[in-house]
């Protein structure tokens, strides 16, 4: 992946751009110890994988704030590579946030299931080890809602209006067809 996740365009679920994600989260936590949950999910779009990293700052009993950014990478054929990339992106923002808030407030949600009947299950211990080894609490499926619901919501465009989703889906299909035509030449 090129560049730091901090240099990416961060948005709220209402598509409002955030100038500095770390400062925004530090401001929300000023004088508070609000839990911060981080998770990443990916979705295939043509020859690419779109990764969405979500940062959720909870205000218990009152709701929370969601920030997210998208990163695009050429398609990864391995589930293991995809999952490790997701956790790597989550850890990158978690480590950057440690300069602004206490690491004990941060939980990294891993989009892998502890149940071995699922393909992701065979990687859950390694992925959790990455998170814990980096000094954060790991949250795995089925409890990893920041990855499996919030990031998934944004990566699939569910926070967009239905007309915007249709327009983006058509554009993605056109881009995929154009790529196939070029590769046949």
Per-residue pLDDT tens digits for 15-24: 999 999 999 9
In sequence order, what are the residues at sequence separation of 6 or more whose Cβ sits closer than 8 angstroms to the Cβ of residue 14?
159
Helices (H), 12-65: 21-28
CB 66 within 8 A of CB 13: yes
Query: Cα separation of 78 and 36, whole Å?
Result: 29
Q: What is the mean pLDDT of the chain?
A: 84
What predicted TM-score, i.e. pTM, was given to this entire model? 0.80
Query: Cα separation of 63 and 123, whole Å?
Result: 32
Closest CA relative to residue 101, chosen from 38, 39, 40, 22: 22
Whether 55 has a pLDDT exceeding 80, the answer reads yes
Instruction: For residue range 63-121, list pLDDT tens digits in order.
Output: 889 999 999 988 778 999 999 999 999 999 999 999 999 999 999 999 999 989 999 98
Query: Cα separation of 28 and 101, whole Å?
Result: 10
- The predicted structure's pLDDT at residue 183: 47
Q: In what order do the strands lie in the sheet with 137-141?
A: 17-18, 10-12, 63-74, 48-59, 36-45, 106-113, 137-141
- The predicted structure's pLDDT at residue 14: 87
Block residue for tokens 């940062």: 55
Average pLDDT over residues 38-58: 91
Average pLDDT over residues 177-183: 49
Q: Decide: helix, strand or coil at residue 177.
A: helix
């Amino acid at each position: 992946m090129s560049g730091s996740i901090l240099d990416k365009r961060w948005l709220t679920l209402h598509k409002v751009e955030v100038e500095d994600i770390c400062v925004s989260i530090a401001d929300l936590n000023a004088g508070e110890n609000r839990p911060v949950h981080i998770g990443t999910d990916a979705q295939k779009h043509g020859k690419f994988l779109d990764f969405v990293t979500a940062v959720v700052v909870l205000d218990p009993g009152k709701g929370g704030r969601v920030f997210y950014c998208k990163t695009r990478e050429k398609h990864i054929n391995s589930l293991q590579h995809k999952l490790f990339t997701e956790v790597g992106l989550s850890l990158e923002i978690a480590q950057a946030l440690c300069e602004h808030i206490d690491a004990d407030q941060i939980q990294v949600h891993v989009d892998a299931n502890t149940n071995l009947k699922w393909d992701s299950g065979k990687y859950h211990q390694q992925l959790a080890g990455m998170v814990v080894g980096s000094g954060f609490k790991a949250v795995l499926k089925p409890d990893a809602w920041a990855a499996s619901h919030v990031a998934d919501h944004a990566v699939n465009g569910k926070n967009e209006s239905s007309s915007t989703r249709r327009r983006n889906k058509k554009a993605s299909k056109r881009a995929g067809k154009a790529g196939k035509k070029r590769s046949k030449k």
